């Protein structure tokens, strides 16, 4: 199924390097569903070409002359919003700029490989993210405003917290892709520390998954950190899968432990949500609460089936708040989702499921 039935997806490439512009153009043009309609060396040339060429998606560098990419992105989102995928060397070290770009409205941020000609190695992955960005435009028009994430009062009364700590093998697992970082910034600050451990797979570049974990940690009462091999998951902690490894769980000596796997990608993704959800279902059975958030493709649907068949709780984000309604839709259409909720309601639904499971 093409992103825009009847025609190819129109992309404008913005980068100050002619070598990078050519490499990105060649990488995207290899996909029969994508047409690169033009390129621009800076924000001012880009502004003129956006009006004249009417692209569906932009790729954008952050380091450019005359006007930096982040400033251009903020202006674009105010006056002429378009789906944007940032491709920048600033993302290589997990920079603040990459996260700032997401907060400013970029759909995704990809790290530019070392060496201009190695951009072509992004290949299929770059095309995947560009298509996901294009799909997000269909839903942004009707997406209700969600308040900027900030620490908020716990969504569960302190008197209930002792019940949450008595859950045995209780575990919360969350999966997300395109738009997921901002969704996590909305959800995670609403969780109190008394919850069972949380494990998250967000499709993300290896270069800044640690920075994302650190940003989320600053917003939450939970401890949020990037998972490491053998980490013990405890109440009040949230582990985020590294951007270059699958995260799986095993239950050993009365506690969940993290396993990081370098097995091949699933659905073109490593980490993959299916790996986390399936391992949680195997280890936790009916004490698993799984939530599947915004994202392109079908990753997570098979894992949700495993949780559902094990007797766990399955929750998916409603189309009205998804940046891309792909992953939740695949799970819903598979008939393995018990509750479909808009993003602001999912935190409370997870807490309710945990309390209900603990009392049971």
Q: Please identify every residue annotated as catalytic.
A: 177, 203, 299
232-233 vs 255-261, strand pairing mode: antiparallel
CA distance 358 to 14: 52
Two tokens, residue 72: 């251009």
Buried b (16+ CB within 10 A) or exposed e, 38-70: bbbbbbeebbebbeeeebbbbbbbbebeeebbb
Two tokens, residue 158: 């302190």
CA distance 283 to 17: 49
Helix (H, G, I), strand (E, B) or coil at 48: helix
Give CA angle at 20 (15, 25), nearest 5°: 90
CA distance 22 to 38: 10
Cα 204 to chain centroid distance, Å, stands at 6
SS (H, E, C) 274-325: HHHHHHHHHHHHHHEEEEECCECCCCCHHHHHHHHHCCCEEEEECCCCCCCE
Two tokens, residue 93: 């070290």
């Amino acid at each position: 199924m093409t992103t825009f039935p009847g025609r190819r997806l129109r992309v404008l490439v913005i980068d100050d390097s002619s070598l990078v512009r050519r490499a990105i153009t060649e990488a995207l043009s290899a996909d029969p569903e994508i047409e690169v309609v033009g390129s621009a060396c800076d924000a001012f040339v880009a502004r003129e070409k956006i009006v004249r060429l009417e692209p569906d998606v932009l790729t954008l560098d952050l380091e450019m002359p005359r006007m930096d990419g982040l400033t251009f992105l903020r202006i674009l989102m105010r006056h002429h919003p378009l789906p944007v995928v940032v491709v920048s060397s600033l993302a290589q070290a997990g920079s603040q700029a990459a996260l700032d770009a997401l907060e400013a409205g970029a759909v995704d941020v990809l790290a530019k490989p070392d060496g201009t000609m190695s951009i072509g190695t992004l290949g299929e992955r770059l095309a995947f993210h560009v298509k996901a960005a294009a799909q997000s435009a269909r839903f942004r028009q009707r997406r209700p405003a969600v308040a900027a994430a900030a620490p908020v009062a716990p969504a569960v009364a302190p008197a209930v917290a002792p019940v949450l700590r008595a859950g045995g093998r209780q575990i919360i697992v969350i999966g997300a892709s395109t738009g997921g970082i901002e969704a996590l910034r909305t959800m995670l600050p609403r969780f109190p520390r008394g919850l069972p451990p949380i494990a998250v797979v967000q499709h993300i570049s290896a270069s800044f998954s640690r920075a994302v974990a650190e940003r989320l940690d600053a917003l939450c009462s939970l401890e949020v950190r990037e998972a490491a091999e053998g980490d013990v998951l405890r109440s009040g902690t949230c582990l985020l899968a590294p951007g270059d490894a699958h995260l799986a769980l095993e239950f050993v000596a009365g506690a969940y432990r993290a396993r990081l796997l370098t097995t091949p990608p699933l659905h073109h993704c490593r980490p993959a949500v299916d790996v986390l959800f399936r391992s949680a279902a195997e280890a936790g059975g009916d004490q698993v609460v799984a939530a599947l958030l915004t994202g392109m493709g079908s990753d997570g649907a098979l894992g949700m089936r495993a949780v559902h068949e094990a007797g766990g709780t399955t929750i998916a984000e409603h189309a009205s708040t998804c940046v891309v309604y792909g992953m939740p839709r695949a799970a819903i259409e598979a008939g393995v989702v018990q509750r479909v909720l808009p993003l602001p309601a999912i935190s409370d639904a997870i807490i309710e499921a945990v309390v209900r499971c603990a009392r049971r």
